[in-house]
Chain A
């Protein structure tokens, strides 16, 4: 049926991208480190655009400094600007850490950031917090190479590689969740605590990017993974690392290789089975059984899955977004009886199709079409043919959902046409429960609105 559809049409141009740039992902990760200010080495415009983009989702102040290169710097190299910018920023913000991410511009002119930073550390007289030089973390994030997702992981990996040293074993556990919501991060920390584990979750932007109201605008938002804890990650008993893409496992693998920390590569714990896998790993690491309230949450989720199964049975969904998120969602949808007809991502990391196949195996009636490296032009084109009943993804797919007149269940990032994106749960039994309720309600609402009867009970 989908004979000519499946044949990948390789467009030259991109129309309505299903991705953002690497440096953006790096900035998000750096926001999750205690006292850290993201610093883009490049022209001013990129930083301003990224701040606007992030603010539209998080509705929080997002300060991103820039070395603000001008025409001459592009010709003669951005080193002097980077150094001067660091001095200015550190003095003003009293930063404890600076997350330096490159941009296309500085990667293309070939600035050697590690070398510039080494020089800077030798020459500079700056005072960050407590009169000390902040930790300077550098990540290479040329956006022409990959997407915001790979940029996020590059920053996490750089942080671990540059700050975590082999130290004495301390029995704690590292959690590398990938790019999940602030609510998810809070949930994971709660779960770890309930298992009696002392967890270092990196990056923890649950407070910097979702802060309570306060008396003033915090120049440097509180929260974030403590630097002292990051330095001790090499002594943990284990690392739980979420995600299927190779990049998502970079930091965990580094900790394993350099410091001998046992790595549990888990995939994103979305839906029942993947959450079970996470809880099993936590049982192994903590040597404790699943705490009663989480066992109860699992039970309630199962109960809901039974109560609602007929609303979902045979419904067809299009899923798009970052690769790991899409694989996780496909796994969840398949287990609740939805047929994911199309799974797509703007990213091009290896193994996307294989993983989609694996997580849906035995649960779906038709093979799932999976494509990486697509834009919304392609997604619209495929969706028109496949005629899904609903879509699951970020706000960017609204154009397509609107054209097809089908519900869009908003998840992930960015969500800029609904309220409360940072407070959405995706992970664990709690996340699955929330997702489940939202999906069912979206379909009920559609049915109710489309019907002339005005059903009061559905």
Chain B
């Protein structure tokens, strides 16, 4: 089969194990005419801010941008659920011609008294960027009228990619940080950045930290609250997961408030344990370290027997992963290793040059590394590398299934907790459930050789 790679995108691929030096080109605008899996600036902002459950999230634009993001994520809240609504100014033709400021003002005046949010985020979309509404001015006035922060998120879709959206979201959150009372925060305290509480994951991590005697000040943003964000600068340390989305906030907080940060990952047993040890190390606390070690021992003992069973079946199977951020890819590669599986393809939508270098370094020779892949390219490699399981988002699922390949949803829509030790086990179960299903034997691509054998 000929390789279906767009000529212009050749430098967005790399195969490890050759003698070429590592080079991959990322952060390009998606190629016109390709079916990119990439999302827009607005999507990036929405993903980061969405789980703040007591804020009003108002999407200023025509209806589509709001329609497509209504309750699509599994970000859970332990209290208010304002984030699960899809609010839009639903701009019409006249608004586009005469400007949408009036409608935005009236929408805020309607929604804030109705829902009593602790803050409001107003997302700018492509159209707003074009018609030139002065979001800041409208928000300032609304803020005065209603006595809550009303914060514009400059997320016009066409002004960059998802990463620009992360940046806009961090900027918006940073306006809240530093406005709350931090007096009662104990010294061993952290903020959790870059965890979105999908399927309740942040609760797992918080519980681990609490067992080590560490207080969590703000969840950024899974099960997030405005009041917590306001006092986030009182925490001694920022733990940053999924570096892409909230790293900017960590940097801003370091610069302004001197809060140091650590990069962590809660995916897979290796990285989860490492994260806890790193935190104990940071606080130079003997007791926290001992508790962490005990915790890891206990939790591993709970999952280990079952993991061993699953591994028996999975040993030697081949995996591919295509996820949002590159950092997640590292953890998944290790998690697959723990299951005895080989990763044949690793890609992300928004990795940086360093990310990809690191990725290439931990992968085995022959692994394909891609940036911003499209369905054609993914298909080519999935077949070429004869993959058994593909890890990706909902958009990738049908590609895998059509090819007769198992699939695990590792994106923001999943309903299964994959973080922490219990998450490692869930992940293994999920991979097992898909890889070991008998259906693949009957799907046309896999069935062919068997049929041929039978015929011979």
A interface, CB within 8 angstroms of B: 11-17, 19-21, 23-24, 39, 42-53, 55-56, 59-71, 73-74, 81-82, 84-90, 92, 103-105, 108-109, 142-145, 147, 211, 213-219, 396, 399
| Beyond known contacts A53-B67, A215-B445: 10 more, CB 8 A cutoff | A13-B106, A13-B111, A24-B64, A44-B39, A49-B69, A64-B35, A88-B6, A104-B62, A104-B127, A218-B402
With A45-B39, A105-B126 known as contacts, the answer to whether A20 contacts B107 (CB < 8 A) is no
The reply to whether B43 and A45 form a contact with Cβ atoms under 8 Å apart is yes
Pairs of residues from A and B, 3 with the lowest C-beta to C-beta distance, nearest first: A45-B40, A21-B64, A85-B33
With A48-B38, A145-B93 known as contacts, the answer to whether A214 contacts B402 (CB < 8 A) is yes
**CA distance in complex: A372, B132 (Å):** 30
**CA distance in complex: A92, B379 (Å):** 14
The reply to whether A68 and B399 form a contact with Cβ atoms under 8 Å apart is no
Query: Is B325's beta carbon under 8 Å from chain A?
Result: no
Map CB proximity to A onto B95-127 as digits: 1 under 8 Å, 0 otherwise.
110000001001100110000000000000011
Q: Which residue of A lies closest to B40 (CB)?
A: A45
B127 contact from A24, A56, A105, Cβ within 8 A: A105
The reply to whether B91 and A144 form a contact with Cβ atoms under 8 Å apart is yes
Q: Which of B24-32, B146-154, B332-340, B359-367 contacts A (4 or more CB under 8 A)?
A: B24-32
**CA distance in complex: A400, B9 (Å):** 46
Q: Which of B80-88, B180-188, B420-428 contacts A (4 or more CB under 8 A)?
A: B80-88
Residue from B70, B85, B103 having most chain A Cβ neighbours under 10 A: B70
In the complex, how many residue pairs between chain A and chain B have their CB atoms under 8 Å apart?
A: 235
**CA distance in complex: A67, B30 (Å):** 9
Cβ distance B29 to chain A, nearest Cβ, rounded Å: 5
Map CB proximity to A onto B431-456 as digits: 1 under 8 Å, 0 otherwise.
00000000000011100100000000
| 27 cross-chain CB contacts under 8 A | A12-B110, A13-B87, A13-B88, A13-B110, A14-B87, A17-B86, A19-B63, A43-B126, A43-B158, A44-B38, A45-B42, A48-B40, A51-B35, A53-B68, A61-B375, A61-B398, A64-B35, A65-B34, A68-B31, A81-B32, A86-B33, A104-B64, A105-B130, A108-B127, A145-B92, A213-B443, A219-B376
Chain A residues, Cβ within 8 Å of B70: 16-17, 396
Query: Is B141's beta carbon under 8 Å from chain A?
Result: no
Give residues 391-415 of B contacting A (CB, 8 Å): 393-395, 397-399, 401-404
The reply to whether A217 and B379 form a contact with Cβ atoms under 8 Å apart is yes
Q: Say what secondary structure dominates the interface of chain A.
A: mixed
The reply to whether A144 and B96 form a contact with Cβ atoms under 8 Å apart is yes
**CA distance in complex: A69, B393 (Å):** 24
The reply to whether B33 and A67 form a contact with Cβ atoms under 8 Å apart is yes
With A66-B32, A70-B29 known as contacts, the answer to whether A214 contacts B444 (CB < 8 A) is yes
Residue from A67, A216, A217, A396 having most chain B Cβ neighbours under 10 A: A217
The reply to whether A88 and B402 form a contact with Cβ atoms under 8 Å apart is no
B interface, CB within 8 angstroms of A: 4, 6, 8, 29-43, 58, 61-72, 85-93, 95-96, 103, 106-107, 110-111, 126-127, 129-131, 157-161, 375-376, 379, 383, 393-395, 397-399, 401-404, 443-445, 448
The reply to whether B375 and A217 form a contact with Cβ atoms under 8 Å apart is yes
The reply to whether B398 and A47 form a contact with Cβ atoms under 8 Å apart is no
**CA distance in complex: A48, B91 (Å):** 21
With A61-B399, A213-B402, A217-B402 known as contacts, the answer to whether A46 contacts B157 (CB < 8 A) is yes
With A71-B159, A108-B96 known as contacts, the answer to whether A59 contacts B398 (CB < 8 A) is yes
Q: Which residue of B lies closest to A44 (CB)?
A: B30
The reply to whether B64 and A47 form a contact with Cβ atoms under 8 Å apart is no
Cβ distance B139 to chain A, nearest Cβ, rounded Å: 15
**CA distance in complex: A45, B155 (Å):** 11
Chain B residues, Cβ within 8 Å of A211: 402
The reply to whether A14 and B63 form a contact with Cβ atoms under 8 Å apart is yes
The reply to whether B58 and A45 form a contact with Cβ atoms under 8 Å apart is no
Q: Which residue of B lies closest to A12 (CB)?
A: B106
The reply to whether B43 and A49 form a contact with Cβ atoms under 8 Å apart is yes
Chain B residues, Cβ within 8 Å of A15: 85-88, 111
Cβ distance B72 to chain A, nearest Cβ, rounded Å: 8
Chain B residues, Cβ within 8 Å of A16: 70, 85-86
A52 contact from B36, B68, B158, Cβ within 8 A: B68
The reply to whether A48 and B395 form a contact with Cβ atoms under 8 Å apart is yes
**CA distance in complex: A42, B40 (Å):** 11
The reply to whether B96 and A19 form a contact with Cβ atoms under 8 Å apart is no
B64 contact from A23, A69, A70, Cβ within 8 A: A23
**CA distance in complex: A375, B217 (Å):** 37
With A21-B62, A49-B43, A49-B64 known as contacts, the answer to whether A105 contacts B158 (CB < 8 A) is yes
The reply to whether B111 and A216 form a contact with Cβ atoms under 8 Å apart is no
With A68-B31, A215-B445 known as contacts, the answer to whether A14 contacts B64 (CB < 8 A) is no
Chain A residues, Cβ within 8 Å of B90: 13-14, 17
The reply to whether A66 and B30 form a contact with Cβ atoms under 8 Å apart is yes
With A16-B86, A17-B67, A45-B43 known as contacts, the answer to whether A216 contacts B33 (CB < 8 A) is no
Cβ distance A317 to chain B, nearest Cβ, rounded Å: 23
The reply to whether B395 and A52 form a contact with Cβ atoms under 8 Å apart is yes
The reply to whether B103 and A12 form a contact with Cβ atoms under 8 Å apart is yes
Chain A residues, Cβ within 8 Å of B127: 104-105, 108, 144
The reply to whether A217 and B403 form a contact with Cβ atoms under 8 Å apart is yes
**CA distance in complex: A70, B161 (Å):** 9
Q: Which residue of B lies closest to A218 (CB)?
A: B402
Chain B residues, Cβ within 8 Å of A67: 32-33
The reply to whether A216 and B445 form a contact with Cβ atoms under 8 Å apart is yes
**CA distance in complex: A85, B376 (Å):** 16
The reply to whether A44 and B68 form a contact with Cβ atoms under 8 Å apart is no
**CA distance in complex: A376, B375 (Å):** 34
Residue from B42, B129, B397, B398 having most chain A Cβ neighbours under 10 A: B398
**CA distance in complex: A16, B85 (Å):** 6
Chain B residues, Cβ within 8 Å of A399: 71
Cβ distance B274 to chain A, nearest Cβ, rounded Å: 33
Q: Which residue of A lies closest to B161 (CB)?
A: A44
The reply to whether B402 and A68 form a contact with Cβ atoms under 8 Å apart is no
Residue from A44, A62, A104 having most chain B Cβ neighbours under 10 A: A44
Chain A residues, Cβ within 8 Å of B72: 52
Cβ distance A170 to chain B, nearest Cβ, rounded Å: 36
Chain B residues, Cβ within 8 Å of A143: 62-64
Cβ distance B25 to chain A, nearest Cβ, rounded Å: 16
Residue from B38, B64, B90 having most chain A Cβ neighbours under 10 A: B64
Chain B residues, Cβ within 8 Å of A45: 39-43, 65, 126, 157-158
Q: Which residue of A lies closest to B88 (CB)?
A: A14
With A67-B33, A70-B158 known as contacts, the answer to whether A48 contacts B39 (CB < 8 A) is yes
**CA distance in complex: A63, B90 (Å):** 27
**CA distance in complex: A18, B407 (Å):** 31
**CA distance in complex: A310, B65 (Å):** 44
The reply to whether B126 and A104 form a contact with Cβ atoms under 8 Å apart is yes
The reply to whether B64 and A20 form a contact with Cβ atoms under 8 Å apart is yes
Q: Which residue of B lies closest to A16 (CB)?
A: B86
Q: Which residue of B lies closest to A11 (CB)?
A: B110
Chain A residues, Cβ within 8 Å of B110: 11-13
Residue from B8, B32, B58, B399 having most chain A Cβ neighbours under 10 A: B32
Cβ distance B449 to chain A, nearest Cβ, rounded Å: 11
Cβ distance B26 to chain A, nearest Cβ, rounded Å: 15
The reply to whether A13 and B126 form a contact with Cβ atoms under 8 Å apart is no
The reply to whether B92 and A144 form a contact with Cβ atoms under 8 Å apart is yes
Chain A residues, Cβ within 8 Å of B42: 45
